[in-house]
Structure 1
Amino acid sequence: MKDLPISPLAPDAFPDLPNVAGMQASATRVGFYAGTRNDLMTVIFPHGASVAGALTRSATRSADVDWCAAQLPKGRARALVVNAGNSNAFTGPAGVAKNAATVKQTCALVGCAPHEVFLAATGVIGVPVAPNRVADTLPQAIAALAAPDWEALARAFSTTDTFPKGAGACLDLDGVEVRIAGLAKGSGMIAPNMATMLAFVFTDADIAPSVLQSLVSAHVETTFNAITVDSDTSTSDTLLVFATGANGASPITTQDDPRLGAFSEALRQVLLDLALQVVRDGEGAQKLIQVTVEGAHSDASARAIAFAIANSPLVKTAIAGEDANWGRVVMAVGKAGEPIAVDNMAVRFGGEWTARHGGAVDYDVAQVDAHMKGQEIDILVNVGLGNGRAIVWTCDLTHGYIKINGDYRS
C-alpha cells in the first residue's frame, strides 16, 4: 500500500497515553510489507489479565477471530499477538496451521496455556502464509518487550490508516488511580457488526472477566457498532479489553460495586474516542458526519434509519460536494423499511430545519451553506412517530475512496 496523505480530520498529534502497569509490549517486523516498517504487535501480561471482547459476525471471518471466540469465555489472558499485512481470513487449513504454530511458540516463550493467548490479524484476505511465518519472529518480539510505546504499537498493526489511533483516561476510584489506554486501526471496510477492524484497550484495574464483558457488550453498541465508513463489515473485526489488576486496588467482582459506574463511563469514552478516530480516518474522508434520528417507533428502528442515511452513497457524495440535499436524506429514510409518520417528518442540517411537517420550509441558506463547508456535519431527522432515538457516525464519500481501494493490492 502506497503512503497516503494524512486525513484532514486527524487529531493534531498522537495523545499522551498513561502507562498501564502489568503489561509489556513490543513492535517488531514479520515482513508482510516491503521496506522496514513494523507489522507485529506483541503484548505480554506477566501476571495475567482479565479479558473481554467483541468479534465480527461475518460468515467469512478470519481464523484469528475464530481462535479468540473460543478463548474469550475462559476470560484470562497472558499474551496478545497482532499482525498487519495479512488478515488470515479465508485461508482454510493453512490459517489454522499458522495460528497453531503462533500459539505454540508463544506458550513456549511466555510459559502460559494456549487459552491464554489471543490473536488478531488484518490485511489482505485469502492469501495463506507459511505456518511459522509469525512464530519464527516471536523470539525477537519477546526479547524487545518493554513498557508500551503506544504510538509505535498503534503503527505496527495499521494498514490503510493515515494516522495512528489512541485514546486514554485516568480516574480516581476510592483513592486509587486507574489508568486506561486504547489503540485502534481502521479506515476502510468499516461497518462493524460487534466491533471495529482492530481495537485493543488496556487497564490496570482489577475487574472480573464477567463484569468486564458486560461493560464491553454494552458499550460496543453505542461506539464501534455505531460507526460506518462504507457499509462493509470486515472479516477481522476484533475488540479486546484487558484488565491487569496491577494497580493494587481490591477487585471489582460484581455489577453492583459502587466503583464500577465511574470506570464504565471512562471506558465508554475511550471506546467512543477510538471509534470516531476510525471514522475521521475513513478512506478519502474530508468530513465527519453525525446522523441523529429521533421520533422513531423504537431505538432499534431509529438505528436502522440512521444507518440507512449514513450508508447512502447519494447522501455521502452530496455532503462531499457540500450540498445540503435533504431530499437524499428523505430517500434514505424511506428505503430503511421502518415505520415513520411522513406528514410529521423533519430534517435539519446544523441548526437549520430544511424540511418540517413532511415538506420543504424556508431556511437560512447562508447558514446551512456555511455548515456544509465545515469538517463536522450534523444531520438530524425526526420521523414523527414515537420516542426511539439513535446516533451513528460516518464520513463523506470522495474520489479518494476509489483511489485507495483501486490500489489496495498494488
Structure 2
Amino acid sequence: MPRDTAIPLNSLGFAKPPSETRVVVAMSGGVDSSVVAAMLADEGYDVVGVTLQLYDHGAALAKKGACCAGLDIHDARRVAETMGFPHYVLDYENIFKDAVIDEFADSYLGGATPVPCIRCNERVKFKDLLETARDLDADCMATGHYIQRKMGPEGAELHSAADTARDQSYFLFSTTPEQLDFLRFPLGHLTSKSETRALAAKYDLSVADKPDSQDICFVPNGDYASVIRKLRPEAAAPGEIVHADGRVLGAHDGVVNYTIGQRRGLGIGGLAEPLYVVKLDPESKQVIVGPKDMLATRTVPVREINWLGDAPFTSRDTWPLAVKVRSTRPPTDAILRPTSATEATVELITPEEGVSPGQACVFYDPDSSRIYGGGWIHKG
C-alpha cells in the first residue's frame, strides 16, 4: 500500500514518527558519535548504539587518543546509559585485521602510503556493520562523520561538511550509492566543533570535553614503522639511499621508514642541495632521492574508482572536476579521463608535489559542495 504522502518526513527522512524509526548509531566512544546518539535519542528515535572492538584491548588500553580502544568502549556505554538506549559491543577484531591491518602492512612493504581509515569505512563500518544494522531491523545507520547527505533529483548525494576545517569527505569517497541510501550524518551541517561540544554539554555527556583522536587507531603515537616491523619483520631489511642520478649516498634500515616527499631524517647530510624521497623501490630495497622539482606530478593514474555522479563515469571522455590527492590539501582543478568504469588518468592543471601510490584521489564538483567519489592512486 502506498505511504500517505501527507505524513511529514522526520529529521532522518522517513514518513513516520521518530519513535517508529529505528536507527543504529556507530559509536566510537568519542564526542562526535556520542552527540549523534544522544541527539537522536532526545528526538525520540528508537536508538541502538553499537561499538566495534577492532583490536586487542591490552594494546588499546595503553594508548591514548585512538578510537575504539577499551576506554572508548566504556565511554560509549556510559553515554547509552545516560540517554537510556541499548548498547552493544561487537568483536570485529578478525575482520579488521584481515580487511584493514594486513593490507596496511603489505601496502607499506610495497612502497605505497596507505590510508587505512578509508578501508575501515569501506570494508568494516559501511559494510559489515551496516549489514548488522539491517539485521537489527534498523531504518538507517547514523555516524558522527563530518560530511553531508543531501537529496538530489537522482537520489542521495554526498556533500562536503559545512565546516571545511573538519570535513571528512576524503575518507568517505568510497561510500557507494546503496550505502548512502542507508546512512545518515547528523553533524555534517554544523559549522564548528564548538557546536558539537555544546550539544554534548547540553545532554550532560561524560565525553563532552574528551580530546579528539589524532592517530590511526592501531598505530601508537603515529609510529607507522614500528607497527609494520612488528607485523612484517622483513620490512626492516637494510638497503641503499640512492640519488636519482645513480649515486649511492648512504644506507637505511628499512624502506618502511620513508615516505614520498620526505626531506628530514634521511641521514645523508653534508650535501649542497636539499634532497627529498622521490621514489621507493622495495624490490631492490632502495630509497631514491632527488631535488624538489622531481616531486612535481601532473598525471595521476587512479583505479578502484567509486563513482557517485548521476551519469555513468564512462559516458564522457573527460570530466572537469577538482581533486584532492592528500587529505590535508584543498581540492585542485583537474581533468579526469576514464579508461574504464573503475580506472582513469587524472591530469592536474597545476602539478602537485608528493603524490604517492596508496593515497586516495577524491573527486569534487568545483562549483558546489558535491563529492563525485574517487579512487586509489597507483604506480603508473
Normalised by the length of structure 1, the TM-score is 0.25
Q: Greater relative contact order: 1 or 2 (C-alpha under 8 angstroms, separation 6 or more)?
A: 1
Normalised by the length of structure 2, the TM-score is 0.27
